[in-house]
Amino acid sequence: MDFRLFSKLILIEQTFFAMPFALIGVIFAGGGTIITWVLAIVALAAARTAGMSFNRVIDAQIDAKNPRTSDRPVPKGEIKTSTVWWTAIISSIVLIASSLMLNRLCFYLSFPAVAMLFTYSYFKRFSSSSHFYLGFVEAAAPIGGYLAVTGEFALVPFVLGLAIMSWIAGLDIVYALQDMDFDSKQGLHSIPVQMGKEKALLLSLTSYIISICALIYAGILAHMGLVYWISLIPIAAIFTYQQILARRKDIVSSINTFFKVNMFISPILLLGSLMDELIIN
């Protein structure tokens, strides 16, 4: 499997989008050491690769039926399913190994993390709450980043996790709008299919509001400074713009723009948190 196909398989650009999640947790925990940052990045990249690989191989038959996803590498036969399985397994091992090198708590939690990465793809087969389950899986990143530094539980990382979970769930609900007809015909579950477009959009908006409120609460708990609070302003603006986009008639075009602006959110939050930490210290 060459790098082009590998990048297409795991959507490598989205790995860079997800990377700040774990690093924000590290920053909120006090920053840690260079080794902590490196291991957190390795663990996140491995988790992302494992999760995407599991998803692509488990959903291969469904993707082949959907015109929107039929050109993905696995349905097209560009990558063997055995190769994708091995990619997922090796990435899971790397995740567990890097967690072991961080601390014992991270090591213990790496096993349920792998289980969540594996089971997500099956969730939409029986529950419309799959959007929130995806958010729950993504929420493990800031929690894991925090635990990588401290090795113990606290309220702050779980509030950060709530922010990420709500954001990703709200995002995924909008994403599912473009597959409403297909999901309904295939017997797949989603909030747009179950609740209809308008109620789904309302739930997405509610999730975004919860996310920004959680980011505010996390900042209060961690005694963040001015730079962090300023960084929340463009994030709130992007959230608002995304919700406007989601309500336009041309949903496909809107979702493309929706995801383009979404790529700015995690870097802004990371930069705001990092600069705030550097100024304070």
Using one digit for the tens of pLDDT, what is the confidence trace for 173-218?
Answer: 999 999 999 989 998 999 999 999 999 999 999 999 999 999 999 9
The mean pLDDT of the chain is 92
User: What dotted CATH number matches 3-280?
Assistant: 1.10.357.140
Tokens for 228, please give them: 């962090």
Contact assessment for residue 133 and residue 120, using Cβ atoms and an 8 Å cutoff: yes
CA angle 29, 34, 37 (to 5 degrees): 55
The pLDDT confidence band at residue 4, using thresholds 50, 70 and 90, is: confident
Token pair 């705030």 is found at: 276
| Measured distance CA(19)–CA(204) in Å, rounded | 23
**Which spans in 103-196 are helix H?**
104-123, 130-150, 155-175, 180-186, 191-195
- Which among 215, 217, 219 is positioned nearest to 266, based on CA atoms? 215
| Measured distance CA(47)–CA(262) in Å, rounded | 21
**Mean pLDDT value across residues 62-71:** 90
pLDDT above 70: percentage of residues in the chain: 98
The pLDDT confidence band at residue 281, using thresholds 50, 70 and 90, is: low
**Model pLDDT, residue 12:** 76
Name the pTM for this structure: 0.93
| Measured distance CA(213)–CA(222) in Å, rounded | 14
Domain ranges of the chain: 3-280
